[in-house]
Amino acid sequence: MTQGNVIKSSPTSGQVAIEVYNPTGAVQKVTNLHAERLTDLAGKTIGELSNGWWEANRTFPLIRSLLQKQVPGLKIIPYTELPFGTRLMDVAEIGDIVRGKGCDAVIVGNSA
């Protein structure tokens, strides 16, 4: 018998009941896997979000430089001006901060 993400047995006399957590992940239907994609980056504001796990001080400036050379009117809010260590914050709070900075999109992580 399955309830949510837990599989439960229905024991008969003399048997032991066990609960096994389903390792396949959520069972709820996902209707929108990703946010709507931007059709163009020209004139947009992009934020950089870092969790500090892998050399953001080296990779974000390079990504920023390459994007600004290729996309006219692109504005980038550096990771140093946005929440750092995003695992410590509520996702909605991060979204509010990013929107408050005028970001149309964010780069979330750049290596692992």
In whole numbers, what is the pLDDT of the chain averaged over residues? 80
Nearest alpha-carbon partner for 89 in 103, 108, 61: 108
Digit-coded pLDDT (tens) for 66-108 = 999 999 999 999 999 988 765 667 777 888 999 999 999 999 8
Reply yes or no on whether the pLDDT at 65 is more than 80.
Answer: yes
Nearest alpha-carbon partner for 7 in 25, 20, 24: 20
The model carries a pTM of 0.65
**Is the distance from CB of 107 to CB of 38 less than 8 angstroms?**
no
